């Protein structure tokens, strides 16, 4: 009897121990990598990058997976646009390398559509066939269109994987927040509450234990997720400028904790989530692991990149110096981005990156085209992407600065434009751009020879307080000659500000930047203090709600008709203009009313010759840019 009792007690102990076994789960995530595959600045004397790169990321991933086989690997999306490797391989190389490391799923952000929905479909379909990677988007609506059947079949609304008895479910939300993205007939559903609740119910029915949301929403929206969807445990924010060092812990609406986190973009960091799970999350920790020189590059991946780098150099050798060629030496960090808080605080607001680009524009026009009458050059912060770091730099570093541009003929950078503006038009453009500083720095204007003062405490169109050009007070009747890029001039023309302009053929802002740097190989990061905020306040008081207006443009390519589908039901009208490759308005700006019965505006383009066209559409508080192809 004693033996029976002891045996029963032992069995009970073993069963209880098995039932309460703590599972250790690791989740690694990559944010907004933008195909920055090679290690970047700062560089050593041989131009080897000391930070970032996919080879360092793979080294870390392998190490973590060897320590814990229960490791999930996620890519939040945003692998498109930002590097010569993307312009050459469209994300194929990057995702293939990650697939070899067991990439579980990749989100779909709006940058994936910077070359159009058709190009993304081709890329995603090819990669999915080759690697089996799961593309997920919970709110991307793909129409019943035979032209997009491949994409519709491969994109998943959710992803679930079991790790040692612990089921992890992944959802993803994307938003259209990039001027260059062209979704065609696709769209992100803005009213996603019902959709997410339905997917959460499905995950509950599948007995999923941990739920992750990959979110392309803004910070304020992410902070509301725990209240709206308390069953979401983790929000991985896909915010380019919001990398964190500590997670944000928010008590959700049912008394538990939800965690919001965001790792560094451009392969500068890898996010690591560590969870101890036993019928619930017993412990949670997160770190944003910096991919610095202490992490050695994976030799196999490095060897692959060396081969493809030679291909990059060969492909673009007639355009730019090789990646192995030193262009200049940087003695001080070149800042690129301004937060809303910085835009509203007193002081000078010039960024070294914008100042460098504007000087390069002017230098190109004066020295290559003999334009001695240029008054100034301008750029907006939203047209730049990455900073420059101290030390030697190469052509790849410079391309990462302005890598949004995509020319149909050269594939490297927007073209430059000479534009004639009156003083009154310059005042109007500056005043309008300053109305956006509560939301972001995307439309914040910077210049080399134009100086202006503004007061962020003043509302609406009255923030501009002073303006001089080349040291003289602006003359509202005088005409000034300005250099900028084609996207900016299209926007100004659309607003009725710029009507006289000339696209400078065989020009590129990227080539202009390279030439300027080659002529100024010692760069100190200085600015001319051209922009001053005289506000007394020190921070943003109230942030405006970001516009959720979306316009889908389809079909693309198109033969007879191009359709603009308006997703914002609150809009009463939308203005549309179309420009040819020479910058001429082939369909002048016209306002179209939106009826209750139809939200689609169809334009007849049969009279247009075949080629690439730029469209701009705008409403009360937004502008949408894009390109489409007219076929015969």
Name the pLDDT band for 200 (thresholds 50, 70, 90): very high
327 and 395 share one domain: yes
pLDDT given for residue 575 in this prediction:
84
Report if residue 308 sits inside a domain. Answer: no
pLDDT at 406: 63
Q: What is the CATH number of the domain that holds 132?
A: 3.60.21.10
Tell me the backbone φ, ψ of residue 91, rounded to 5 degrees: 85, -10
Looking at 506, 533, 560, the residue that finishes a domain is 533
Which residue among 471, 498, 533 closes a domain? 533
Region 373-397: mean pLDDT is 95
pLDDT at residue 523, rounded to an integer: 96
* The pLDDT of residue 318: 76
Smallest Cα–Cα separation from 358: which of 487, 227, 446, 245? 446
- pLDDT tens per residue across span 241-278: 889 999 999 998 888 999 999 999 999 999 999 999 99
What is the domain-level CATH number for residue 426? Answer: 3.90.780.10
Distance, CA of 36 to CA of 84 (rounded, Å) = 8
Q: Are residues 103 and 33 part of one domain? A: yes
- Cα–Cα separations (whole angstroms), residue 240 to 93, 266, 612: 22, 9, 30
Per DSSP bridges, beta strands 376-380 and 445-447 are antiparallel
Residues 483 and 625 in one domain: no
Please report whether residue 12 resides in a domain: no
- The segment with the largest mean pLDDT, out of 332-341, 461-470, 473-482, is 332-341
pLDDT at 565: 84
Confirm whether 10 is domain-assigned.
no
Which one of 15-29, 347-361, 617-631 scores highest in mean pLDDT? 347-361
Is the pLDDT at 10 greater than 60, yes or no? no
Q: SS3 string of 95-131?
A: HHHHHCCCCCEEECCHHHHCCCHHHHHHHHHHHHHHH
Does 351 lie in the same domain as 499?
A: yes
**159, containing H or E segment:** strand 159-163
Confidence of residue 195 (pLDDT cuts 50, 70, 90): very high
- Residues 384, 272: one domain? no
Residue 458: which pLDDT band, with cuts at 50, 70 and 90?
confident
Indicate whether 211 pLDDT > 80: yes
Task: Check whether residue 44 and residue 132 sit in a common domain.
Answer: yes
Q: Find out whether 116 and 408 touch, Cβ atoms under 8 Å.
A: no
| Structure token pair of residue 124 | 């995603």
- Contact, 489 vs 481, CB < 8 A? no
The verdict on 336 and 210 lying in the same domain is no
Average pLDDT over residues 440-469: 92
The Cα 179–Cα 188 span in angstroms is 15
Task: Evaluate if residue 589 carries a pLDDT over 60.
Answer: yes
Domain total for the chain? 3
pLDDT of residue 69: 96
Compute the distance between CA of residue 394 and CA of residue 25 in angstroms, rounded to an integer: 40
Instruction: Quote the pLDDT of residue 629.
Output: 81
Determine the 3-state secondary structure of 59 from DSSP: helix
Averaged pLDDT for residues 475-488: 91
| Main-chain phi, psi angles of 566, to 5 degrees | -95, 120
Q: Which of 533, 567, 602 is where one domain is finished?
A: 533
Residue 614's pLDDT is what? 77
CB of 612 within 8 A of CB of 629?
yes
Q: What is the pLDDT of residue 116?
A: 87
For 185-214, what is the mean pLDDT? 96
The mean pLDDT of the chain is 89
State whether 211 and 352 are in the same domain.
Answer: no
- The residues near 402 (Cβ < 8 Å, ≥ 6 apart) are 357, 383, 384, 385, 413, 414, 509, 510, 513
Q: Which residues contact 555 (CB under 8 A, 6 or more apart)?
A: 147, 184, 185, 562, 563
Decide if pLDDT at 296 tops 90.
Answer: yes
Indicate the SS3 state at residue 207: coil
Same domain, 176 and 230: yes
Q: What is the pLDDT of residues 535-563, one digit of tens each?
A: 985 333 333 333 345 677 888 888 899 98
> Which range (134-143, 531-540, 570-579, 593-602) has the least confidence?
531-540
Q: What is the pLDDT of residue 546?
A: 35
Based on the fold, state whether residues 263 and 168 are members of the same structural domain: yes
Task: Enumerate residues 6+ apart whose C-beta is below 8 A from 12.
Answer: none
Say if residue 96 is in the same domain as residue 144: yes
CATH value at residue 569: 2.60.40.1930
Taking the CA of residue 91 as centre, how many other CA atoms within 13 Å lie in the half-sphere pointing to its CB? 30
pLDDT at 403: 87
> What pLDDT does residue 588 have?
81
Work out the number of other CB atoms within 10 angstroms of the CB of residue 376.
22
Q: What secondary structure does DSSP assign to 141-154, as a single string?
A: E--S-GGGHHHHHH
- Looking at the domain assignment, is residue 303 inside a domain? no
Euclidean distance between the first and the last CA atom of the chain, given in angstroms as a whole number: 93
Please report whether residue 7 resides in a domain.
no
Q: Are residues 564 and 506 in the same domain?
A: no
Is the Cα dihedral 102, 108, 111, 114 positive or negative? Answer: positive
Burial 388-406 (b: 16+ CB within 10 A, else e): bbbbbbbbbbbbbbbbbbb
- Nearest-angstrom CA–CA distance, 37 and 53: 5
Q: Is the pLDDT of residue 424 over 80?
A: yes
At 304 the pLDDT is 97
Secondary structure (3-state) at 611: strand
What confidence score (pLDDT) does residue 332 get? 96
Short-list 44, 96, 50, 102, CA closest to 71: 102
**pLDDT digits over 16-38, tens only?**
444 568 999 999 999 999 999 99
Sign of CA dihedral 334, 512, 385, 418: positive
Strands 234-237 and 210-215: parallel
Residue 107: which domain range? 21-290
Q: What pLDDT was estimated at residue 538?
A: 38
On the question of pLDDT at 469 being above 60, the answer is yes
Give the pLDDT band of residue 93 (cuts 50, 70, 90). Answer: very high
């Amino acid at each position: 009897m004693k033996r029976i009792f002891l045996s029963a007690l032992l069995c009970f102990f073993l069963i209880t121990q098995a039932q309460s076994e703590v599972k250790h789960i690791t989740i690694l995530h990559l944010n907004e990598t933008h195909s920055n595959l090679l290690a970047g600045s700062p560089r050593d004397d041989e131009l080897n990058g000391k930070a970032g790169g996919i080879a360092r990321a793979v080294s870390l991933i392998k190490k973590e997976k060897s320590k814990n086989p229960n490791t999930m690997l996620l890519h939040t999306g945003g692998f498109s646009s930002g590097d010569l490797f993307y312009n050459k391989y469209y994300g194929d190389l990057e995702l293939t390398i990650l697939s070899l490391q067991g990439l579980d799923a990749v989100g779909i952000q709006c940058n994936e559509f910077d070359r159009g929905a058709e190009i993304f479909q081709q890329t995603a379909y090819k990669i999915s066939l080759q690697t089996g990677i799961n593309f997920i988007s919970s709110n991307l609506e793909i129409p019943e269109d035979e032209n997009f059947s491949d994409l519709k079949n491969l994109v998943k609304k959710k992803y679930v994987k079991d790790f040692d008895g612990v089921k992890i479910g992944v959802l993803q939300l994307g938003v259209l927040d990039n001027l260059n993205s062209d979704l065609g007939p696709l769209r992100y559903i803005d009213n996603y509450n019902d959709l997410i609740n339905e997917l959460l119910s499905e995950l509950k029915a599948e007995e999923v234990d941990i739920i992750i949301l990959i979110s392309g929403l803004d910070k304020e929206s992410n902070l509301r997720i725990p209240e709206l969807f308390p069953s979401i445990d983790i929000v991985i924010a896909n915010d380019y400028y919001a990398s964190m060092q500590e997670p944000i812990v928010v008590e959700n609406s049912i008394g538990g904790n939800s965690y919001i986190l965001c790792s560094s973009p451009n392969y500068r960091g890898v996010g690591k989530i560590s969870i101890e799970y036993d019928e619930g999350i017993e412990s949670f920790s997160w770190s944003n692991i910096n991919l610095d020189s202490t992490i050695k590059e994976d030799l196999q991946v490095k060897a692959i990149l060396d081969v493809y780098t030679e291909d990059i150099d060969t492909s673009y050798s007639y355009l730019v110096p090789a990646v192995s060629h030193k262009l200049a030496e940087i003695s001080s960090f070149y800042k690129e981005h301004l937060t809303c808080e910085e835009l509203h605080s007193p002081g000078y607001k010039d960024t070294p990156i914008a100042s460098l680009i504007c000087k390069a524009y002017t230098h190109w026009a004066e020295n290559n085209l003999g334009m001695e009458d240029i008054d100034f050059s301008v750029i907006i912060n939203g047209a730049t992407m990455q900073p420059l770091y101290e030390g030697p730099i190469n052509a790849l570093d410079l391309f990462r600065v302005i890598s949004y541009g995509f020319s149909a003929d050269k594939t490297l950078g927007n073209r430059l434009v000479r534009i004639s503006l009156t003083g009154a038009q310059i005042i109007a453009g500056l005043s309008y751009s300053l109305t956006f500083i509560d939301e972001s720095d995307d439309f914040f204007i910077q210049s080399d020879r134009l100086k202006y003062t503004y007061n962020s405490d003043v509302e609406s169109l009255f923030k501009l307080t002073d303006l001089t050009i080349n040291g003289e007070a602006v003359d509202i009747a005088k005409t000034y000659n300005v250099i900028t890029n084609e996207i900016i001039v299209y926007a100004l023309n659309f607003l009725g500000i710029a009507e006289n302009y000339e696209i400078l053929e065989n020009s590129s802002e990227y080539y202009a930047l390279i030439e300027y740097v080659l002529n100024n190989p010692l760069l100190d990061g200085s600015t001319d203090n051209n922009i001053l905020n005289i506000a007394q306040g020190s921070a943003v008081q109230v942030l405006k709600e970001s516009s959720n207006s979306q316009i889908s443009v389809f079909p693309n390519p198109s033969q007879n008709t191009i359709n603009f589908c308006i997703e914002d039901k609150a809009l009463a009208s939308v203005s549309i203009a179309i420009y040819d490759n020479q910058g001429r308005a082939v369909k002048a700006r016209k306002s179209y009313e939106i009826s209750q019965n139809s939200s689609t505006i169809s334009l007849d383009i049969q009279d247009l010759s075949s080629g690439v066209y730029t469209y701009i559409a705008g409403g009360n508080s937004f502008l949408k840019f894009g390109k489409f192809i007219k076929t015969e």
